[in-house]
Amino acid sequence: MNSVPSRWESLCASSSVLRFVDVNLRGIGQVMFQDNPLSGALFLAAIAWGSFAAGVPQVLFGGLVAVVAATAMARWLRVDPASLRAGLYGFNAFLVGLALATFVAPGPLLWVYAILGAAVSVVAMSATVHVAKTWDMPALTFPFVLVTWLLLLATYGFAGLAGTALPAAAVVAPFESVAATRLDAGLFVQATLLSISQVFLKGSVIAALLFLAGLAVNSLSAAIAALAGAIVAVITAHLLGAESDLVTGGLLGFSPVLTAVALGTVFNRPGLRVAAYAALGTVFTVVAQAAFNVALTPLAIPALTAPFVLVTWMFLLARPALDAAAADQARG
Amino acid sequence: MNSVPSRWESLCASSSVLRFVDVNLRGIGQVMFQDNPLSGALFLAAIAWGSFAAGVPQVLFGGLVAVVAATAMARWLRVDPASLRAGLYGFNAFLVGLALATFVAPGPLLWVYAILGAAVSVVAMSATVHVAKTWDMPALTFPFVLVTWLLLLATYGFAGLAGTALPAAAVVAPFESVAATRLDAGLFVQATLLSISQVFLKGSVIAALLFLAGLAVNSLSAAIAALAGAIVAVITAHLLGAESDLVTGGLLGFSPVLTAVALGTVFNRPGLRVAAYAALGTVFTVVAQAAFNVALTPLAIPALTAPFVLVTWMFLLARPALDAAAADQARG
Amino acid sequence: MNSVPSRWESLCASSSVLRFVDVNLRGIGQVMFQDNPLSGALFLAAIAWGSFAAGVPQVLFGGLVAVVAATAMARWLRVDPASLRAGLYGFNAFLVGLALATFVAPGPLLWVYAILGAAVSVVAMSATVHVAKTWDMPALTFPFVLVTWLLLLATYGFAGLAGTALPAAAVVAPFESVAATRLDAGLFVQATLLSISQVFLKGSVIAALLFLAGLAVNSLSAAIAALAGAIVAVITAHLLGAESDLVTGGLLGFSPVLTAVALGTVFNRPGLRVAAYAALGTVFTVVAQAAFNVALTPLAIPALTAPFVLVTWMFLLARPALDAAAADQARG
C-alpha cells in the first residue's frame, strides 16, 4: 500500500499539473483535517455521488471551481508554501463553493459569487491564521463560516442572487414535539451516517461511507472518532428532545463530528482523558448547534459549522489545563 | 474579628472536606470579586432567602449543584491551583446554575443541563483566562454569559427543556411611556437595593442587605461602590425614561453595580479620578444594558451580565491612559 | 502653497486656542485618514453645507460638540500625546455626534447623549488601540460603530430619546426588483459622488466635491482611491441587482470608499498588486454592506461603517502574504 502514495509523490515532483491536482485534493481532505490526496479523492467521490444522486451536479462544480480558484489566489498572494502544499488554503474555499451552490439558485452570478467567495476565503484564512497563532490555535473552518454568512446574508439584498433552500426568517418560538418520537435501529444508523455526510452538506448514506473510507486511509483513529462523535451527537440530540427530522437528517450531528475528530485525534493525543474531554466537547457542540439554529432564525441563514468552531476553539484554548493533567498522570 | 478567619483557615488546612467547602464558598464570593468564604456564606444565605421566599427553592439548589460540579471538574482538569483555591473556577458555574434554574422549567433534564453547563463553564473560564491574559484582563463573567446564552437558546430547539420566565420573542419596537412616572423615595430605595440583589438574579430587599453585608465583611469600599453604582444606575435609567418596572425591579441596575465595583475598587486604586472614571463606566453600562435588552428581543433570551463584561473590559483596556494620568497627577 | 501650512503650524505653536482648533480639525480629517487641518476644515465645510441644505443644522452641531468633548476627554485621560495631536482621538467621536444627531430626534437629552457618546468613544478608542496593536492593526472606525450601535439600540428602551430616521424593524425577506432598473450616466455620477459624501452620513453632491477637495489637498492618491472605490462599488452593487435607491443614494458605497482609501493608499504602498488587492476588498465590502444591512434588519439600526472595519481588518491582517509577494516581485 505504501508504494502507491510514494509513487504519487514522485509523479507530483515531476509534473506541475499533478502538483496542482495534489494541492487541491489535499485541500478537500483538510475539510476533515486529512493532509492526504487519497482522502481528498475519496471525499470528492462522495460529493460527486451525493450531488448527482440528489440531482444537483452544480454543488460538485461549485466546490471544484472554488477550490481551484482559492489555490490560484493563494499562489498569487504567495502564502506560506508549506501550508499551501498541505491544502490549508483550499478547504475553506471548497466548503464556500459547496455551500453557495447548495443555497443559491444556479445562474451566471452564482459562479461569480463562488469565485469571489473563494478568493476572499484565502484572505480570511490568512487573517485568521495570523490572529489565531497568537494562542497557537488552528483557524478551523472560521473563514468558511464568516465568508459564507456574509455572502448568503447579502443575497437578500441583491435581486441577481436568489437564495434557494435557505431557511425562512421567523421569530424565535419554542419547539414542541407533538408526540414521543421513537428512534429505531434503522433511523439511528441513518442519523449517525448522515451526521458524517452533512459535514460536506450532503445527506447520503453512500457518501457517508466514502467519507469514512477517506478518513480511514489516512487515520483510522480519525474514522473511529468521527463515528463515535456521530453516535454521541445523535443520542444527545434525541435525549434532549430535538426535532426528529433534524436528528435523522444528520443536521445536529455534523458540527459535533468535526469537534470529536478535532479534539479526540487531531489536536490532542488520543487516550482515556482526551476521549472524555472530547466527549464533553461533542455533547456541548450539539447544544451549541441547536443554539445557533435558534439564534440565526431571524436572519434566515444556516449555522454552517460555526458551533464546531466556537466549541473546539474553547476546548483547545483550555487545553493547557488538560495537558497539565495529562503530564501529571504520566508522571504518576 | 481577625481570629475567626484564621481559625477557619487552620480548620481548612486539617480537613479536605472543609477545604472543599471553603473553595465553593469563595467561588460564590467571587461573583462580586470577594475571595472570602464568609462573603460567600452571606451571599449564599441571601440566595437561600430569596429562593425560598419566592417559592423557587430549585434556584438555590441549581447554584449549589453547579458550583460543586465546577469545583470537581476544575480539579479533574487540574487548573492553576491558586486560582482554583481563590474560587475563580466557581463563580461562573454558580451563576450558570442560578440562571438555568431560574429560566428553565424544573425536571430531570434541568439537572443534567446544570451539571453540563457547570463543567463547560470551567472549560470556558480556562479558555477566557488564556486569551484575556494577553492584555492582562480578567475573565469577568464572560464564561457565564457565553455558556448560559447557548444553553438557553438551545432550549427553543429541545422539547425536553421548556423555558420558563424567558422573555417572549418580538420584533424591536420603541418604548413609549404612557405617562410621566414618578420615582418616589420608597421606589427609589427599592430600585437601588434590587439593583444589587439582581446581580444574583434575585429581586429581594432582604437578600440585597445580606449581599451588602457580604461585601462589607471583606471590603467596605466594595460595599460603598455597589451602593453608589446602584444609585447612579437608577438615576440614569430614570432620567433617560426607561420603563418603570425595569428600574424599580433592579433590572437595569445589576450590570452597572458590577461595573462600579470592578472599576471603582477591584481593578483600580480608589480615588477621585478613578471614581469619575468608574461613574462614566457605570452610566454607560445602563445604556449598554438597555441596548442588549433590545438586541436580544428577537432571540428571546436575557442579557445577563453581558453589558457589564463589555463595558468593564473596554474601560479596563483603556486603563493605561488613566494610569498615565494618575502617575502624572502624582508627579505634579 | 507650502507656506500656508507652515504659517498655520507656527501660529498653533504660539496659541493654545489655535492648537485646540488644530487638533479638532485633524480629528475631522482623520475620518478619511488625513492628518491635516485643512482637510478637516474642508470636510467640516462639506458637512455644514450638507446639514444646512437638508434643513438639519443639528447634525453639524452634533459633530462639533462631540469632537470638542472627545478632545477634552482625551486630555483628561492623558492619552498618547502624539496620537492626540494627530486627531486620532477625535474622528470616532465626530462620527458618533453626526450619527446621533442624524438618527435621534432633537432635544436636550440628545446633547447629553452626544457628550456621553463622545467621552466613551475616547475610552473605546484607547481600548481598541491597545488590543489592535497586538497585530499591528489600526483601530479604524470600530469605536464609532460599537458606541453608536449601543446608543442607538438603547433609544428603543428609553422614552426620553426617540429614534428618527432609524430603519424599521422587520423580519428578513429577499429583495426582488420589480423591473430591470437602468443606471444612466447622470444617476451613475450621482451614485458615485453620494457614495463619498455618505462616509459622513450626508447625501449631497456639493459636499462630495468638498470631501474630494479635502482629500486632494493632503493626498492626491487618496482622492483618486476614493473616487475609484466609489465607482467600483456602484458598478458591483448595480450588477448584483441591489435596490436602485440604495445604489443612487450612495448607501452601498460609503464603506467600500473607505476600504479603497485604506487598502489602496493609507496602509499599503500604492502599486498594481496593491490596487488589485484593494479592488477585491472594495468589491467584497459591497457584499458585506448588503449583508450587514440584512443582518441588522430585525434590530432596526443602521450598519454604519462596520462592513469597512471588518473587511479592512481582514485584508490588513492577511497583508503579510501580500507583502511577501511584493517583496518577491521587487526581487524578481
- State pLDDT tens for residues B252-272: 999 999 999 999 999 999 899
Among A130, A137, A172, most C C-beta atoms within 10 A, so best to mutate, is A130
Calculate mean pLDDT across residues C256-270. 95
pLDDT of B214 above 60: yes
Average pLDDT, chain A: 92
B113 confidence band (pLDDT: 50, 70, 90): very high
ipTM over 0.90: yes
Nearest-by-CA chain C residue for B314: C127
Contacts of C177 in chain A (CB under 8 A): 159
pLDDT of C266 above 60: yes
- Domain boundaries, given as residue ranges, for chain B: 13-155, 185-331
Q: What is the pLDDT of residue C13?
A: 87
Choice between C7 and B129, residue whose per-residue pLDDT is larger? B129
- State pLDDT tens for residues C132-149: 999 999 999 999 999 999
Q: What is the pLDDT of residue A59?
A: 96
pLDDT of B330 above 50: no
Calculate mean pLDDT across residues C85-102. 96
Residue reference for cell 472594495? C282
Nearest-by-CA chain A residue for B161: A240
Give the architecture (CATH level 2) of A16-155. Answer: Orthogonal Bundle (1.10)
pLDDT of A169 above 80: no
How far is the alpha carbon of A69 from chain C, nearest alpha carbon, in Å?
14
Q: What is the pLDDT of residue A329?
A: 46
What subunits make at least 3 CB pairs under 8 angstroms with B? A, C
Q: What is the pLDDT of residue B331?
A: 45
pLDDT of A178 above 80: no
Choice between C165 and B99, residue whose per-residue pLDDT is larger? B99
pLDDT of C329 above 50: no
Is C163 in Cβ contact with B318 (below 8 Å)? no
> CATH number of the domain at B185-331, out of 3.40.50.300, 3.10.129.10, 3.50.50.60, 1.10.3430.10?
1.10.3430.10
pLDDT of C325 above 70: no
Calculate mean pLDDT across residues A210-238. 97
- State pLDDT tens for residues B275-310: 999 999 999 999 999 999 999 998 999 999 999 999
pLDDT of C330 above 70: no
Q: What is the pLDDT of residue C186?
A: 93
Q: What is the pLDDT of residue A332?
A: 39
Top-level class of domain C10-155: mainly alpha
Calculate mean pLDDT across residues A18-43. 96
pLDDT of B52 above 50: yes
Is A287 in Cβ contact with B159 (below 8 Å)? no
Percent with pLDDT over 70 in chain C: 94
Q: What is the pLDDT of residue B57?
A: 95
What does pTM read for this prediction? 0.95
Q: What is the pLDDT of residue B180?
A: 55
pLDDT of C276 above 80: yes
Percent with pLDDT over 70 in chain B: 94
Q: What are phi and psi of B242, to 5 degrees?
A: -75, 160
Say if A16-155 and A185-326 have the same CATH topology: yes
Interface list for chain C against chain B, based on CB atoms closer than 8 Å? 76-80, 109, 116, 119-120, 122-128, 130-131, 134, 149-163, 169-171, 298-300
Choice between A178 and B63, residue whose per-residue pLDDT is larger? B63
CA distance C234 to C189: 10
Calculate mean pLDDT across residues C278-288. 98
Q: What is the pLDDT of residue C30?
A: 96
How far is the alpha carbon of C261 from chain A, nearest alpha carbon, in Å?
18
Q: What is the pLDDT of residue B221?
A: 96
Average pLDDT, chain C: 92
pLDDT of B325 above 60: no
Give the architecture (CATH level 2) of A185-326. Answer: Orthogonal Bundle (1.10)
Among C79, C83, C110, C120, most B C-beta atoms within 10 A, so best to mutate, is C120
Q: What is the pLDDT of residue C6?
A: 84
Choice between B152 and A322, residue whose per-residue pLDDT is larger? B152
Contacts of C153 in chain B (CB under 8 A): 290-292, 294-295
B185 confidence band (pLDDT: 50, 70, 90): very high
- State pLDDT tens for residues A263-276: 999 999 989 999 99
What's chain B look like in SS3?
CCHHHHHHHHHHHHCHHHHHHHHHHHHHHHHHCCCCHHHHHHHHHHHHHHHHHCCCHHHHHHHHHHHHHHHHHHHHHCCCHHHHHCCCCCHHHHHHHHHHHHHECCCHHHHHHHHHHHHHHHHHHHHHHHHHHHHCCCCCCHHHHHHHHHHHHHHCCECCCCECCCCCCCCCCCCCCCCCCCCCHHHHHHHHHHHHHHHHCCCCHHHHHHHHHHHHHHCHHHHHHHHHHHHHHHHHHHHCCECHHHHHCCCCCHHHHHHHHHHHHHCCCCCHHHHHHHHHHHHHHHHHHHHHHHHCHHHCCCCCCHHHHHHHHHHHHCHHHHHHHHHHHHHC
pLDDT of C332 above 50: no
Top-level class of domain B13-155: mainly alpha
pLDDT of C232 above 90: yes
How far is the alpha carbon of A73 from chain B, nearest alpha carbon, in Å?
31
